[in-house]
Each structure stands twice: as structure tokens, then as C-alpha cells.
């Protein structure tokens, strides 16, 4: 520990590189059909589970290797449906083919997941908690900048701000930890099937001149064809109905969410918490070691480190099962 009592900032020495790589990886393909200009990061040797940071977890989970995706369907959509799908794909940073593949797989695998409703609620809360982190992160950065410039902050305002930081970090911690407490897999989820059937029945026999071209691996294709067969419709019709179901939700990102989306949001938590650690460490450098504010900042920094460890553990569990 330094004379001022500061700790090495989480995210500076041991996490900064991983986080930087993670943010770059977050723009890579989420599935078949990601927009052009993205890149894939491959790991020749997967890291040990006890060393797995969120960025590495995503890289491991997304690792495509040489798995061929030779199975294709070519669902058709009318102009109104296509406009909705294109909008949803942009929201998810995917191409129309990418969101079609992601939606078909997410719905096809819904019955084997613990509960899609629970997963969606957990993901939504994690996204909200990350928004809360971002909201308090700006004034915390301003406070660090103020101290770095040689100015003295108002003590009560600084204490109030650190209380807000703790509150936001606690919320993120609850959201992160809840993702490791899923109900037992195999819980029946009939909502997805009813939703797909509804969109399939509602489609009118009219010209559909817009196509997407999702492709699937053997394992993915087996899941999609099994789900389509259970509903007694063709895989192409299943892909079309699931895509429309996802595009019609309030947040298509949540509708097509599976492990990769959860890991991405954990990466965002990791990035913001690492930035908190950096700013808090700067505060400790400038604050008097015996001042109450120094003690509060020190305790906050330790808590941030603990939550970063929870993020790592959750990412490891999700990525490695």
C-alpha cells in the first residue's frame, strides 16, 4: 500500500488491457450475419476458469473456430415486416440475417433454459444497473479531475457523491449475483411457443419480396428444426415468426438474449467498475490519509474490487457452464 493508503486501482494494472480488449470484442459478431467491419478474437488456448475475466469469457464463448454453418433458410417478409426487422437489427447491431438467426436460436432453445422470462428480467436489471453506474460515473470522474487540478472539493458534496457511488455499485452487485442463481434448467416455458404461433398465424398471404439469409451450424440447425417440427411448421416459417416476435418486443436485445448477450452486459459492468476504481484511486492520492473522506473513498474502492470479482465469477460460470 502506498503512503497515502491507496490501493492499486481495479481495472488499471490487472484489468485495463482485458477491458480494452473486451470493449473491442463487444463490437464483434454476435452470431451469423454481424455487420461488416467487425472482427473476431480467437483464443488458441482457452484460459483457466480461475483466470477468466469477462472479456476472455466472451472471447471463449464466441470462439467460432472452423465450425461450418452450412444450413440456410431464406424467410421472406413484406415491406412493413421488413422495416420492423431492419430497425430491430440496427438496435441489436446486427444485420437482418444476424437477427433472424439469433431470434430463431433464442426461441428454439427457450425450453431448455431455466426460464426465459427470468433471464430477461435479470438482463434488463443488469442493463438498468449499468445505466445507473454511467450516471454516477460522470460526476465521480469530475471529482477526480477537480482534485487532480489542485482544487479542493466541497466535503459534503463529495461524501454525498460517494454515497451515490456505493448505491450504484450495490445495485450492480445484486444484478450480477442474481445471474448465478437461476432456477433449475428444464422448466417449461410455453409463452415462447404461443408467441411464435401467434405471429405465424397472423401473417397474410401477400407478396413478400424482402429476404434474410441466416445460416446455422449442425447443432444450431438441429435445435431450429426440432422446434419448428414441434410446431408443425417449416424451419423457414419458424425463423420468420421468431424474428417478427423478437422485433415486436420493447427491446429486441433482450428478446434474442442468450449467454453472449449476458456476457456483453457483464463486460460493460466490468468496464464501468474499473473506471470507478481508477477514479477512486486518484481521489486517495490527493486526500489526507486521516480525513473521513479518505476512509470513505478507501472503503468504496475495496467494495468496487469485490464487485469486480463477482463479475468475473459470474462471467466464468456463464461462459463455461
How would you class 185 by CB atoms within 10 Å of its CB: exposed for 0-12, middle for 13-18, buried for 19 or more? exposed
Instruction: Give the pLDDT of residue 21.
Output: 38
Cβ–Cβ < 8 Å for 301, 281: yes
Q: How far apart are CA 188 and CA 196, in angstroms?
A: 16
Number of alpha carbons in the 13 Å side-chain half-sphere of residue 240: 23
The more confidently predicted of residues 194 and 170 is: 170
Global pTM reads: 0.55
Q: How far apart are CA 213 and CA 235, in angstroms?
A: 12
DSSP annotation string for 129-162:
HHHHHHHHHHHHHHHHHHHHTT----HHHHHHHH
Q: What is the pLDDT of residues 214-249, one digit of tens each?
A: 999 888 899 899 999 988 899 999 999 999 999 988
Q: What is the pLDDT of residues 17-46, one digit of tens each?
A: 433 333 333 333 333 333 444 333 333 333
Dihedral sign, Cα of residue 53, residue 54, residue 56, residue 57: positive
Q: What is the pLDDT of residues 240-292, one digit of tens each?
A: 999 999 998 888 877 786 666 788 889 999 999 999 999 999 999 999 999 89
pLDDT exceeds cutoff 90 at 135: yes
**Is residue 67 very low, low, confident or very high in pLDDT (cuts 50, 70, 90)?**
low
pLDDT exceeds cutoff 50 at 48: no
Q: How far apart are CA 60 and CA 262, in angstroms?
A: 14
Instruction: Give the pLDDT of residue 264.
Output: 82
DSSP assigned state of 183: P
The more confidently predicted of residues 318 and 158 is: 158
The more confidently predicted of residues 5 and 225 is: 225
Q: Can you name the residues that pair with 71 across neighbouring β-strands?
A: 216
Residue whose C-alpha cell reads 435479470 in the numeric block: 122
> Does an H or E element contain 56, and which?
helix 54-62
Task: Write down the domain spans for the chain.
Answer: 18-115+185-260
pLDDT exceeds cutoff 70 at 170: yes
Amino acid at each position: 500500500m502506498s503512503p497515502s493508503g491507496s490501493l492499486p486501482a481495479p481495472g488499471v494494472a490487472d484489468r485495463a488491457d482485458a477491458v480494452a480488449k473486451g470493449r473491442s470484442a463487444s463490437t464483434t459478431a454476435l452470431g451469423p450475419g454481424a455487420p461488416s467491419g467487425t472482427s473476431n478474437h480467437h483464443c488458441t488456448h482457452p484460459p483457466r476458469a480461475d483466470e477468466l475475466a469477462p472479456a476472455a469469457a466472451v472471447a471463449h464463448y464466441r470462439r467460432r473456430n472452423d465450425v461450418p454453418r452450412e444450413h440456410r433458410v431464406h424467410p421472406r417478409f413484406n415491406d412493413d415486416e421488413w422495416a420492423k426487422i431492419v430497425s430491430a437489427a440496427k438496435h441489436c447491431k446486427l444485420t437482418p440475417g444476424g437477427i433472424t438467426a439469433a431470434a430463431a436460436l433464442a426461441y428454439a432453445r427457450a425450453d431448455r433454459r431455466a426460464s426465459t422470462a427470468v433471464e430477461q428480467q435479470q438482463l434488463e436489471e443488469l442493463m438498468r444497473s449499468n445505466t445507473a453506474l454511467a450516471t454516477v460515473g460522470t460526476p465521480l470522474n469530475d471529482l477526480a479531475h477537480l482534485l487532480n487540478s489542485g482544487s479542493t472539493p466541497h466535503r459534503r458534496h463529495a461524501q454525498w457523491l460517494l454515497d451515490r457511488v456505493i448505491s450504484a455499485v450495490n445495485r450492480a452487485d445484486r444484478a450480477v449475483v442474481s445471474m448465478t442463481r437461476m432456477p433449475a434448467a428444464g422448466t417449461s416455458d410455453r409463452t415462447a411457443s404461443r408467441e411464435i404461433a401467434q405471429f405465424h398465424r397472423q401473417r397474410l398471404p401477400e407478396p413478400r419480396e424482402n429476404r434474410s439469409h441466416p445460416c446455422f451450424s449442425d447443432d444450431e440447425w438441429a435445435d431450429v428444426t426440432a422446434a419448428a417440427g414441434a410446431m408443425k411448421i417449416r424451419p423457414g416459417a419458424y425463423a420468420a415468426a421468431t424474428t417478427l416476435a423478437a422485433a415486436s418486443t420493447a427491446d429486441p436485445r433482450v428478446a434474442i438474449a442468450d449467454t453472449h448477450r449476458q456476457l456483453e452486459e457483464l463486460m460493460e459492468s466490468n468496464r464501468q467498475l474499473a473506471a470507478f476504481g481508477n477514479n477512486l484511486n486518484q481521489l486517495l492520492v490527493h486526500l489526507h490519509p486521516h480525513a473521513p473522506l479518505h476512509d470513505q473513498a478507501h472503503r468504496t474502492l475495496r467494495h468496487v474490487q469485490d464487485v469486480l470479482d463477482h463479475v468475473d465469477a459470474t462471467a466464468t460460470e456463464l461462459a463455461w457452464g
